Amino acid sequence: MKYTLLSALMGISCLASVAGAQAYDVICSESFDYAAGSLDNQTGGTGWFNEWWANGPNHGLPNASSIDVQLPGHDGVGGMASDVLENTGAFRLPASGPWPNLTENFQFGRDGADIWISFIARRSVGSDDGYGGLSLQVQFGGEKLYLGSPFGTGEWGYADPVSGASATVAGSSIDTLTHLVYRIQFLPGPEQLDMWVNPVLDHPSSPPHLSAVVSDFRWNEVRLQSGVFTTGHGYEFDAIVFDTPRLEPGTAYCLGDGLGTACPCANNNDGSNGDAGCANGVNPGGAALTGSGDAIVSADTVVLTATGVQPNQPGLFFRADNAVNLGAGNPFGDGLRCAGGSLVRLGIVVADTAGVATSTAGVGAGLLGGDIRRYQYWYRNPAGSPCGASFNLSNGYEIAWQM
């Protein structure tokens, strides 16, 4: 089977904005948007600890750069990285500090980490390089996992230098511009690696084209490299992204799905808005309350978002000490009251035309590390009020605050 980048890009344009999809946070990215010339010492992109080290004179080396920036690139913006000196490579360290949930001892790969890696690549026209790809390695400690084309295969895959195992996706071609996506789930013991060639989505839920168990490893450095040619050398890389599923600061509870306390007039939600409150007059899926940011009292960045409410109507974000009725909630208006006791009003917000209301930051003001608080959004719903109360509530949302 042949996999084409064109078909993948067409699919992305149609399907990338799927409602309710998992959000992702970028660890680091690089699209090589520099002037043509050496990649050595370039500092662009996002999420990196240092500059590119590409064996050039900027780092006191006498030879020419091992990887150049050439224009135009393959992602439609700026340039691309072009390997011009075989078996030498370019190296860079992602910043590990912002990712304590993904790292230990300043190396990525903490058990439980879930890291996605995507990039565009191909063997350059006229090149017969035997291999080319992106490596995860420990600085001055060697390669731990290779993502790209294993030597002599002519196809895209991976190689595990620790165990010696490797595999490729049959029918893929390194001479065709290809969007590669890898997912590494870091587990106790060996890791789980999944790979897609030109997937429709950036984070596909479709079965991977290749799955493998690879050796347990940690890493802190990225390397781009290719080589071993007979008549011509060259590999091209672009649009490198490392990201991870966004973790919410809290947990939804007290859902209006009928599995706990029944909604006041049998207006249980239909599940179309995920974990949410009771159905309202404009959305059978109810209002879903979610959070983003860091629940750290000394650096509170938590923002609450309610979706699925009536557009252009006011609502109130509030917090309380307790989960009402052991977290099942009690009927109130057209919905369920989920949070109660020592109520604190966090602000009235009018929903936008899409039925989304967003709080200001600072919903943990006045709290201490170790405090647990429950949050909810009360909102007006005069249009088609299911039970006639003209107001409703989201699900509850519980946050355990850290120091």
User: What is the average pLDDT across 184-211?
Assistant: 97
Distances (CA, A) of 192 to 114, 160, 184, 214, 246: 10, 12, 6, 6, 19
Q: And the tokens for 60?
A: 């006191």
Residues 10 and 138 placed together within one structural domain of the fold: yes
Distances (CA, A) of 45 to 35, 37, 180: 14, 16, 19
- The pLDDT of residue 21 is 53
CATH number at residue 254: 2.60.40.10
- The pLDDT of residue 282 is 97
Residues 300 and 378 placed together within one structural domain of the fold: yes
Residues 73 and 183 placed together within one structural domain of the fold: yes
Which of 58-67, 251-260, 322-331 is predicted with the least confidence, judged by mean pLDDT?
A: 58-67
369 pLDDT exceeds 70? yes
- The pLDDT of residue 124 is 97
CB 387 within 8 A of CB 334: yes
Identify the three-state secondary structure at position 5: helix
Residues 60 and 193 placed together within one structural domain of the fold: yes
DSSP state of 46: B
104 pLDDT exceeds 90? yes
Residues 277 and 174 placed together within one structural domain of the fold: no
pLDDT digits (tens, 9 = 90+) for 163-180: 999 999 999 999 999 999
Which of 245, 272, 293 is where one domain is finished?
A: 245
Residues 222 and 312 placed together within one structural domain of the fold: no
Residue 247 binned pLDDT confidence (cut-offs 50, 70, 90):
confident
User: What is the average pLDDT across 82-93?
Assistant: 94
Kindly state the helix (H) or strand (E) to which residue 378 belongs, with its residue range: strand 372-380
Give 214's strand partners: 191
pLDDT digits (tens, 9 = 90+) for 338-354: 999 999 999 999 999 99
| Residue 308 to residue 306: CA distance in whole angstroms | 7
CB 99 within 8 A of CB 108: yes
- The pLDDT of residue 403 is 84
Which of 212, 245, 278 is where one domain is finished?
A: 245
Distances (CA, A) of 153 to 28, 128, 179, 182, 345: 29, 12, 18, 18, 62
Query: What's the domain range around 212?
Result: 5-245
Residues 129 and 238 placed together within one structural domain of the fold: yes
Which of 2-16, 108-122, 347-361 is predicted with the least confidence, judged by mean pLDDT?
A: 2-16
Residues 269 and 189 placed together within one structural domain of the fold: no
Which of 245, 265, 289 is where one domain is finished?
A: 245
Residue 5 binned pLDDT confidence (cut-offs 50, 70, 90):
very low
Among 80, 376, 67, 20, residue whose Cα is nearest residue 205: 20
- The pLDDT of residue 57 is 52
Comparison of pLDDT for 288 and 8, the residue scoring more: 288
Residues 295 and 259 placed together within one structural domain of the fold: yes
Residues 282 and 184 placed together within one structural domain of the fold: no
Residues 235 and 318 placed together within one structural domain of the fold: no
- The pLDDT of residue 63 is 56
pTM score above 0.85: no
| Residue 380 to residue 384: CA distance in whole angstroms | 11
- The pLDDT of residue 161 is 98
- Domains contained in the chain, number: 2
Comparison of pLDDT for 77 and 265, the residue scoring more: 265
**b or e along 176-192 (b: 16 or more beta carbons within 10 Å of the residue's beta carbon)?**
ebbbbbbbbebeeebbe
Give 67's strand partners: 83
- The pLDDT of residue 12 is 32
3 pLDDT exceeds 90? no
CATH number at residue 26: 2.60.120.560
Comparison of pLDDT for 297 and 18, the residue scoring more: 297
Residues 261 and 168 placed together within one structural domain of the fold: no
Task: Share the mean pLDDT of the chain.
Answer: 92
User: What is the average pLDDT across 139-155?
Assistant: 98
- The pLDDT of residue 56 is 59
- The pLDDT of residue 18 is 33
- The pLDDT of residue 294 is 85
59 pLDDT exceeds 80? no
Which of 47-56, 255-264, 384-393 is predicted with the least confidence, judged by mean pLDDT?
A: 47-56
390 pLDDT exceeds 80? yes
- The pLDDT of residue 58 is 54
- The pLDDT of residue 130 is 96
383 pLDDT exceeds 60? yes
Give 37's strand partners: 69
